[in-house]
């Protein structure tokens, strides 16, 4: 056998990685299928409580229940095709119970079945397993078929083959099958505080899944922060890493995907070692995020983690090549956090030693107690049980709320109308003009956003974090557009021009950057003007004075020359006379026209008014039209 190609080598390493992970899993932990219950109320023969597995899409109604009737379609029984194509609708008629559509497993993605059931008007989808086996979790597809993922809102549940068969038999016999889907006991709710974990990843280039995660963080942040600040929840973020098998530690694959000598690895974001960021960049960023949480939690402000993750995704995205430590430090700084403490926690990624923080993360990944191994990313763990369903603000908040002992839920579980008041502290890490009290920080229900403000109708533009400047019409009225200005001897000079939409420029007669300073140009010394023979040049602030030798000479500024006063005068007077007479005639003419127009205008105006009260002798249609036109103004 010859040498193996690098690709084959890598595939082998990947397989080994997988095997090792699975080995740990098999030895110490397990995957737990999260369940809810389904109570059949009729027919009598089927009455009882059954278990079903919550699908990892759609919106399970944690803490709640749903009544419905089961319908098994006559055709398209696997739900892989659009029911609308065959004219089927499961929308209940007025007063009817919601329909839970029963479909068979197989032939297409679970999410496709869910989507088809939802678009046909079903309130929930029950999938009957096609083989006798313990219940499984219906997950979302990794690659294809996720186009509807974010839009599925109906809950989904998998039922066993046996129970599915029983349901079908009852329906075939013409029975009406009434059921109650119940999620009240899907999560433990022992006390007044909910402990929850968010298992996530800093990688932002994984397509729809990453976009969904980012959207979720943006929407959920405000709620998470309020819950944390008021002590209702105790939250912790978590990250999954793998380790490189011993034999491959020095391989190209492991050195580009791992830190700490193969101990902590993440897959390459683009799945291509030659371009973009490597797996190890993702591990380092994940580590920074854990450390940031630790430092924030120590100073009793764990909610800063949400701000960091949110801002980092906006300010340091991979596609703009900003997924770097420098960029991360900028975000940390604007949140007013201690960079040194975080760096100490991150340690040296090249060191051949354990990192205690990442070690603890690897340990936490393995299930314990009622919680199984975390293998689905991103996911929530609420009161030590895994959340199943869509990563959506309302659905997740609902799950968290169902983790409180009944009657101890915070208000936010009943109403969502709250503000976070984050701008009050450190200006929320956003841009601030101290002198004028202009700020880019805005409090919203979703948490604070850093957005350049509009002040007195003038739009500020910039990144909102470190920089904003007035722009467009009227910008010079606001703090002189951030430009230099000075007044001397009653003469005001500014480097801001409303004609320009941005920037500062020293006015004629001055030079400089326009922001901090503009210096007078000495026209005489720099020999720019007034260089005629015998002329006297005197510099002034922003300009100069030029005197021509002798009293018979006059200085013409535009042409920078001296001319004789006498010759100029005769030409000048003749010219002025022409202008004088011209103006006189024009004035008389204009007055005559004005008088005529005024009279005819008043004439027709009076006609129009009178026409409303009495028929006029020579009334025509135009007077009527005139009235309508007036009403428009």
Q: Which spans of this chain sit near ligand NAG (rule: CB under 6 A)?
A: 147-148, 151, 236, 297, 300, 302, 437
Considering the complex, state which of residue 147 and residue 405 has its C-beta at the smaller distance from ligand NAG. 147
H/E stretch holding 307 reads: helix 304-315
Considering the complex, state which of residue 151 and residue 604 has its C-beta at the smaller distance from ligand NAG. 151
Peptide bond into 43 cis (omega under 30): yes
Tell me the DSSP string of 283-327: HHHHHHHHHHHHHHHHTT-TTHHHHHHHHHHHHS-GGGT--SHHH
- Alpha helix ranges (H) inside 3-61: 6-28
**Secondary structure of residue 258 in the 3-state scheme:** strand
Min separation Cβ 152 and ligand NAG, Å: 9
Considering the complex, state which of residue 264 and residue 303 has its C-beta at the smaller distance from ligand NAG. 303
Cβ–Cβ under 8 Å, residues 404 and 194: yes
Considering the complex, state which of residue 427 and residue 494 has its C-beta at the smaller distance from ligand NAG. 427
Considering the complex, state which of residue 302 and residue 410 has its C-beta at the smaller distance from ligand NAG. 302
Min separation Cβ 610 and ligand NAG, Å: 57
Cβ–Cβ under 8 Å, residues 308 and 316: no
Min separation Cβ 434 and ligand NAG, Å: 8
Min separation Cβ 36 and ligand NAG, Å: 26
Min separation Cβ 238 and ligand NAG, Å: 9
Cβ–Cβ under 8 Å, residues 264 and 258: yes
Min separation Cβ 89 and ligand NAG, Å: 19
Take residue 30 and report the two structure tokens written for it. Answer: 């397990």
Q: CA-CA distance, 330 to 334, in Å (whole number)?
A: 6
* Length of the chain counted residue by residue: 633
Considering the complex, state which of residue 256 and residue 297 has its C-beta at the smaller distance from ligand NAG. 297
Considering the complex, state which of residue 148 and residue 168 has its C-beta at the smaller distance from ligand NAG. 148
Q: CA-CA distance, 540 to 538, in Å (whole number)?
A: 7
Whole-angstrom Cα Rg for the chain: 38
Q: CA-CA distance, 324 to 304, in Å (whole number)?
A: 20
Considering the complex, state which of residue 300 and residue 559 has its C-beta at the smaller distance from ligand NAG. 300
Residue given tokens 């902590």 in the structure block: 264
Considering the complex, state which of residue 302 and residue 403 has its C-beta at the smaller distance from ligand NAG. 302
State CA 343 to chain mean position distance: 27
Min separation Cβ 359 and ligand NAG, Å: 14
Q: Nearest-CA neighbor of 531 among 520, 550, 519, 544?
A: 544
Q: CA-CA distance, 89 to 105, in Å (whole number)?
A: 20
Min separation Cβ 405 and ligand NAG, Å: 20
Helix axes 279-298, 339-346, angle to 10 degrees: 130
Burial of 173 (0-12, 13-18, 19+ CB in 10 A): exposed
- How many Cα atoms are found within 13 Å in the side-chain-facing hemisphere of 583? 6
Considering the complex, state which of residue 100 and residue 303 has its C-beta at the smaller distance from ligand NAG. 303
Buried/exposed code over 461-475 (b: 16+ C-beta within 10 A; e: otherwise): ebebbeebbbbeeeb
Question: Alpha carbon of 361 to those of 33, 239, 339, 366, 400: distances in Å?
Answer: 22, 7, 21, 9, 22
Min separation Cβ 291 and ligand NAG, Å: 11
- The β-bridge relationship of strands 519-520 and 510-511 is antiparallel
Considering the complex, state which of residue 178 and residue 286 has its C-beta at the smaller distance from ligand NAG. 286
Considering the complex, state which of residue 142 and residue 147 has its C-beta at the smaller distance from ligand NAG. 147
Min separation Cβ 150 and ligand NAG, Å: 6
DSSP 251: S
Min separation Cβ 444 and ligand NAG, Å: 15
Residue 621's CB: how many other CB atoms inside 10 A?
7
Considering the complex, state which of residue 85 and residue 617 has its C-beta at the smaller distance from ligand NAG. 85
Min separation Cβ 121 and ligand NAG, Å: 16
**Secondary structure of residue 132 in the 3-state scheme:** coil
Min separation Cβ 361 and ligand NAG, Å: 11
Take residue 513 and report the two structure tokens written for it. Answer: 């950057």
Q: CA-CA distance, 546 to 555, in Å (whole number)?
A: 7
Min separation Cβ 364 and ligand NAG, Å: 10
H/E stretch holding 49 reads: strand 48-54
Considering the complex, state which of residue 421 and residue 568 has its C-beta at the smaller distance from ligand NAG. 421
């Amino acid at each position: 056998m010859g040498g193996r190609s690098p690709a084959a080598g890598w595939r082998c390493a990947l397989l080994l990685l997988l095997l090792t992970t699975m080995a740990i899993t098999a030895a110490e932990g397990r995957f737990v299928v999260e369940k809810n219950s389904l109570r059949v109320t009729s027919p009598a023969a089927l009455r009882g409580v059954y278990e079903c597995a919550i699908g990892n899409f759609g919106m399970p109604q944690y803490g709640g229940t749903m009544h419905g009737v089961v319908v098994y379609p006559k055709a398209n029984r696997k739900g892989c095709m659009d029911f609308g194509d065959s004219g089927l609708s499961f929308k209940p008629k007025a007063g009817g119970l919601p329909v839970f559509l029963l479909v068979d497993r197989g032939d297409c993605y679970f999410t496709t079945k869910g989507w088809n059931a939802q678009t046909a008007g079903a309130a929930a989808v029950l999938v009957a397993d096609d083989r006798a086996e313990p219940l499984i979790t219906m997950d979302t597809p990794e690659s294809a078929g996720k186009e509807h993922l974010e839009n599925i809102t109906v809950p989904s549940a998998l039922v066993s083959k046996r129970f599915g068969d029983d349901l079908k038999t009852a329906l075939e016999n013409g029975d009406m099958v009434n059921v109650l889907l119940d999620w009240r006991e899907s999560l433990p709710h022992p006390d007044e505080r909910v402990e929850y974990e968010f298992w996530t990843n800093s990688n932002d280039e994984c397509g729809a899944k990453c976009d969904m995660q980012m959207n979720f963080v943006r929407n959920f942040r405000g709620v998470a922060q309020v819950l944390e600040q008021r002590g209702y929840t105790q939250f912790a973020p978590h990250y999954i890493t793998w380790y490189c098998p011993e034999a491959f530690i020095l391989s190209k694959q492991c050195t580009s995907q791992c830190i700490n000598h193969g101990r902590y690895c993440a897959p390459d974001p683009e799945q291509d070692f030659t371009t973009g960021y490597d797996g190890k960049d993702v591990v380092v960023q994940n580590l920074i995020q854990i450390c940031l949480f630790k430092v924030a939690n120590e100073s009793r402000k764990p909610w800063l983690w949400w701000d960091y993750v949110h801002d980092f995704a906006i300010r340091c995205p991979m596609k703009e090549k900003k997924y770097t430590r420098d960029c991360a430090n900028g975000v940390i700084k604007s949140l007013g956090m201690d960079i040194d403490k975080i760096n100490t926690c991150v340690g040296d990624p090249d060191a051949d030693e354990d990192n205690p923080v990442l070690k603890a993360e690897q340990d936490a990944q393995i299930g314990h107690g009622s919680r199984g191994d975390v293998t689905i990313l991103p996911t929530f763990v609420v009161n030590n049980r895994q959340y199943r369903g869509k990563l959506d603000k309302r659905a997740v908040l609902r799950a968290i709320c169902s983790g409180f002992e009944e009657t101890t839920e915070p208000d936010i579980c009943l109403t969502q109308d709250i503000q976070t008041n984050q701008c009050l502290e450190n200006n929320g890490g956003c841009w601030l003009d101290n002198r004028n009290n202009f700020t880019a920080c805005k409090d919203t229900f979703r948490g604070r956003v850093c957005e350049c403000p509009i002040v007195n109708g003038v739009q500020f533009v910039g990144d909102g974090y470190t920089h904003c400047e007035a722009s467009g019409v009227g910008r010079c009225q606001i703090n002189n557009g951030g430009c230099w200005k000075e007044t001397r001897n009653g003469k005001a000079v500014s480097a801001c021009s409303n004609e320009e939409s941005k920037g500062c420029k020293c006015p004629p007669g001055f030079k400089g950057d326009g922001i901090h300073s503009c210096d007078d140009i000495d026209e005489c010394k720099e020999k720019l003007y007034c260089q005629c023979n015998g002329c006297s040049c005197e510099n002034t602030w922003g300009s100069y004075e030029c005197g021509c030798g002798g009293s018979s000479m006059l200085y013409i500024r535009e042409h920078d020359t001296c001319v004789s006063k006498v010759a100029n005068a005769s030409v000048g007077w003749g010219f002025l006379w022409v202008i004088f007479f011209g103006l006189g005639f024009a004035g008389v003419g204009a007055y005559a026209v004005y008088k005529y127009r005024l009279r005819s205008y008043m004439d027709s105006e009076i006609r129009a008014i009178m026409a409303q009260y009495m028929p006029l002798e020579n009334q025509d249609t135009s007077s009527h039209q005139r009235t309508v036109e007036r009403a428009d103004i």
